[in-house]
Structure 1
Amino acid sequence: MNKLFLIAALAVSLFGEKTLLPESTVAVVNGIAISVDERDKEVGKLLPKAYFHSSIDEEKLKNLQEQALESLIEKTLLYSYALSKNINTTESEIDEVMTNLAARYGSKDLFEGAIKRLGFTKATFRDAVKKDEVLKKLYKQEIEVEISDKELREYYDKNMHKFKEPEKVRVRLIHVRNNPEDPEGREKAKKRIDEAFQKLEEGEYFADVAAKYSTAMSRIKGGDMGYLHRGRLQKAVEDVAFSMDINKTSKIIEQDIGYFIVKVEDKLVPNQLSFEKIKDGLAKDLKEKEESRRKSELLKRLMQNSVIVK
């Protein structure tokens, strides 16, 4: 048995969750150590590109480190399980992956330079490739599923209510916000919306009035909000919009956050989406859900029979 595993297991029995691991180690999974360096490389994968050339706050970094560690623990459990099932990869398969990666960089030297910048040696990168290839094989063998057309059709027929486009209205909106920090905010907003309504009464185009008087971002598009289903606007505003006829303009609608005027330009009735239209998206969704379920169940079984020290 691995010496580090014995030390970690003994520490758990003596100190429980307050185990002190070596400074270079952040976790031990069934005797396999996960180093700070491995965790930090995994953090780099999770970081949005926007953070690559800037600093992040301590709390954000801590959350990313926790996510990275959980990911590495899962990968370690799955990798060990794969090896126990005699799922492995050959040196020639690793060579092929390395060759393909080098080709993407245009030359062997550029590829090796990129590896170095990522903090790998050629040997440690090759080892990482090996683990990834083993995990891919495990995924294909025990987790990956294909949803047949028959299964998709049966799901669609039983759940047709899930594949309906709701009633929609296309609206233009004038929204004059009330500034709660201004004692005269509501009075000023009311004056502005009254002026806008007067312009509409005088025959000015709704888009022009919205561009001039609305304080919402939609003013840059003449108040055009596009097609909206229920739940996208203030309830009182959408109740008016959905009750109006096409090409009609509402009266002023007063709300706590300000005042609204709505114009309805088009309406779409609820529409049942055809099987062919939703087929590809449904297949992707069901596949992802089933594979996620299988992976979660496998990890749950593996964790129940593992010693994990963090």
Structure 2
Amino acid sequence: MFKRIGAWFYRKYRIIIPVTAGIIILMAIVLILKSVTLSQRADPVLAVVNGYRIRVSEFKEKTAALPEFFQSYVITNRSQFLQDLIDRELIYQKARLSRHARNQEFKRRLAELKKDILVQEYVRREILENPRIPEEEMHQYYQNQTGEFVQPASIHLYEILVSERATAENVVRRCKEGENFEDLAQKYSQAPSAPSGGDLGFIREGKIPKHLEEVAFKLFPNQVSSPIQTEGGFYILKAGQKILSRQLDYKEAVPLIKKMLASKYGEQNYKDFLKDLRAKARIKVVGEAIEKIRF
């Protein structure tokens, strides 16, 4: 009897089962593709170099690694900096296929470089950036240096960069007539932010060139500026939400206090860390060998 019921159930539902499984798989694929699409929208492509995509995240990362003076230069000369990244990628693609990439000495140096970077990263993140500092000293530092813990004003900023004044004035006119700023940025802007509608995110005071900052922080929310002439072209700015400068409370200031006191406590933490490592390790120093080294 159970066999007959089982056979009937299989005949009735054997088509439904694989179809249902197929639908589930298809839905999963759609969700994956959707998430990939959303992530790509959040990180637009600025250039494609022989298949390699240079994205906004890489542009920002490379900019952040520069000294502050050069960061200001990049903000007003973005196209040139993007060209520098393109040239760097072209050279890398050429070099990785050359005999130099297969050279044993290069591989040895690369392994040493990876070791150095990992050691530096571990020490920085685990010891120097997270020092053990007495709570009472952090409280005392906060009370004595309250003026250091003020969050600067910031503004959600959008930009359009064009090379001709006539184009800039045309864009401003169309914005005043009600056209969408983000759509115009995607169509006309030559800045790396163009694919994301000119969205620069929140910009703090002191982080963009003075002549742009003075205009940006005077704008009302949703107000569009007149064209601003720079060496890199004509900028049009649009203001979003503004956040006023304010005093940070102690809890908010703790990460900053740790950074400020890191040099004082980081060195001692590093010494304690090494002392503990050495105590747990098996180390044998061959003294006479080091004396035989010739330079």
Question: Aligning the two structures, in what range does the TM-score lie when normalised by the shorter sequence?
Answer: 0.3 to 0.5
TM-score (norm 2): 0.46
TM-score (norm 1): 0.44
